[in-house]
Amino acid sequence: MADEALARAGLHFDELNKIRVLEPEVAQQTGELKEECKEFVEKIVDFQKIVGSFIDVVDNVAKEVEKEKMKAIGARNLLKSMAKQREAQEQQLQALIIEKKMQLERLRIQYETLQKEESDQNDFIDQFILQK
């Protein structure tokens, strides 16, 4: 009877016969819930550590990818630059070839003119010698 009167007042005895405000079953469930929450929090902390290390790995990979991307862009730009340089060099060489061909033609004409003049002078010398 005394237990019932205490229970109506909201007081209960636990397994160690200590007076408690909560019912023993509710206190036990509360303790279990507390342990489960503690385990859950530990799992969350572990998960956060794993996620943190995963994010670090992904960040490092992203940095490496960005670095390689910049290298590739630099190599592509260098290749384009080299192609343009070769084009410019080819144009210069083509212009030089045309210039040299023109010079060759001019020298060929000059040579032919000089040969004709030499031939004329030889003919003149031959005529002059024959007249003497």
In whole angstroms, what is the distance from residue 68 CA to residue 61 CA?
10
Helix (H, G, I), strand (E, B) or coil at 1: coil
Q: Is residue 129 part of a domain?
A: no
Task: Calculate the alpha carbon distances from 52 to 41, 61, 123 in Å.
Answer: 16, 14, 104
- Give the per-residue pLDDT at 20: 64
Calculate mean pLDDT across residues 57-73: 97
Place of tokens 């410019």: 88
Q: Is residue 62 part of a domain?
A: yes
Percentage, residues of the chain above pLDDT 90: 73
**Is 14 in contact with 24 (CB distance < 8 Å)?**
yes
Domain, as residue range, for 107: 2-123
Calculate mean pLDDT across residues 69-74: 97
Q: Is residue 22 part of a domain?
A: yes
Q: Is residue 80 part of a domain?
A: yes
Q: How many domains does the chain have?
A: 1
In whole angstroms, what is the distance from residue 115 CA to residue 73 CA?
62
- Average pLDDT of the chain is 89
Rounded to two decimals, what is the model's pTM? 0.50
Q: Is residue 11 part of a domain?
A: yes
Q: Is residue 132 part of a domain?
A: no
Residue 47 has pLDDT above 90, yes or no: yes
